[in-house]
Structure 1
């Protein structure tokens, strides 16, 4: 499969705002600038056993976003944690797994690029659009919260591990999407309070949310979260209505 080229087009409005009293140039100037941005994303794509011979009308797909430690490095690095690590160890999943790499070591995930890649993979493979799942750890978990707010009708379920979770996001997430949150109570990189407060807010708003709060576990709570077999069984059961 040919890797898709990710292109963006945006309209930027520019204007001139001057303080009142600058009579010579006190005017609002309307203008328009069209910009094009290209992003290159490397990724792994896993196909479940029997994919080619199956008569299934559509497989589920899990989008996995890694943490900051694997950003801007060799693609092999993302095999160190999460579902890619399990795949290397021989685990079988009943759905496709899409694992892109953030090309920037010191930048956040480009969520628009992720969606462009995801849409391309979905359109060129036998994927059920009602069974697309989202998960991420650390910086990838923070990006997952952002994706859930920007594309609320895209995902059937989301699992986030030790990510930053701005409370206002709760008002934008699809209430029909089940969520499972994991965090260690001794996380010194991203405080467990991020997840505590978000989960409390989601429950207050009657979201379908689970919370696994590990005791005496630091930032690497993903080691336990992603080896929870129930997580994948739970994901595979979800489907958008």
Structure 2
């Protein structure tokens, strides 16, 4: 009996590992004007191209940049691979990868004598190469008949949180909801999307990489503009506040409940 129980436990563990296998994210490469954007796509189980599915676009942080089409799955992919999520929220989940020599957002980064980075978010300017590619790819996604255009979502962490705000100001009518974790933006741009969609903001108050003031200032501006938003500040979290954000039981139910309708 004991041996049988151990066998069952092993099988359940194997099934769980298999269900969260990152290879379930299909590899593809988007090409535009000679530039490439590596992309991983998770399709719903029992995918049916005659049905309509929401799109979840996830933007990674700086540490996951590159062109290997692997590192962008380090943070966040497990959440979408969870069998309970896949059963309850059939969706097309997309993880693009920013190159090492570009950035999701328009931001000037300097480093002081102690090695600490400082971020100056620009109000305008042309999109970065990575953002240009992302927007071109987004246009291609909008042409897919199996995607529900009323349920496009975007979220990201760190540089990806910055990219989320950047994408919202440039594509303010595209998304039904968004979340940004430990990101930042020029507060002057908030008015461009404040009343277009609901947002959920996250930041750790001990963050010594991207100051929490960036998120707090954005939240204050959203409040001033009467926007629909939520704010979670974690007193004991440093830059990896995505761990706490991903653990929020209402995050995915919240975002997948939203529609432009």
Is the shorter-chain TM-score for this pair beyond 0.5, marking a shared fold? yes
CA 1:120–1:147 in structure 2 vs 1: closer, same or farther (change >3 Å)? Answer: same
Residue 45 (structure 1) aligns with: 41
Residue 228 (structure 2) aligns with: 208
Residue 96 (structure 2) aligns with: 100
Contact kept, 8 Å, 1:79 with 1:88, in 2: the verdict is: no
1:148 and 2:174 are equivalent in the alignment: no
Instruction: Select the structure of larger CA radius of gyration.
Output: 1
Residue 250 (structure 2) aligns with: 230
1:62 and 2:56 are equivalent in the alignment: yes
CA drift of 1:118 comes to 2.0
1:6 and 2:32 are equivalent in the alignment: yes
Aligned equivalent of 1:133, options 117, 139, 153:
153
Residue 74 (structure 2) aligns with: 80
1:71 and 2:71 are equivalent in the alignment: no
Which structure shows the higher helix fraction?
Answer: 2
Residue 144 (structure 2) aligns with: 124
> What is the CA RMSD across the aligned residues, in angstroms?
2.0
Residue 19 (structure 1) aligns with: none
CA drift of 1:3 comes to 4.6
CA 1:216–1:3 in structure 2 vs 1: closer, same or farther (change >3 Å)? Answer: closer
CA 1:237–1:216 in structure 2 vs 1: closer, same or farther (change >3 Å)? Answer: same
- Name the TM-score, length of structure 2 as normaliser: 0.74
CA drift of 1:208 comes to 0.3
* Partner Cα separation in structure 1 for residue 225 and residue 194 of structure 2: 11
CA drift of 1:77 comes to 1.4
CA 1:48–1:41 in structure 2 vs 1: closer, same or farther (change >3 Å)? Answer: same
* Equivalences for residues 12-51 of structure 1 within 5 A: 38-51=34-47
* Partner Cα separation in structure 2 for residue 87 and residue 161 of structure 1: 16
* Partner Cα separation in structure 2 for residue 96 and residue 229 of structure 1: 20
CA drift of 1:108 comes to 0.8
* Partner Cα separation in structure 1 for residue 232 and residue 201 of structure 2: 6
* Partner Cα separation in structure 2 for residue 202 and residue 220 of structure 1: 24
Aligned equivalent of 2:195, options 168, 172, 175:
175
* Partner Cα separation in structure 2 for residue 73 and residue 3 of structure 1: 10
CA drift of 1:174 comes to 4.8
Unaligned runs of 5+ in 2: 1-25, 105-129
CA drift of 1:85 comes to 2.9
CA drift of 1:6 comes to 1.6
Unaligned runs of 5+ in 1: 8-37
CA drift of 1:199 comes to 0.1
- Say how many residue pairs are matched: 207
Aligned equivalent of 1:186, options 206, 224, 227:
206
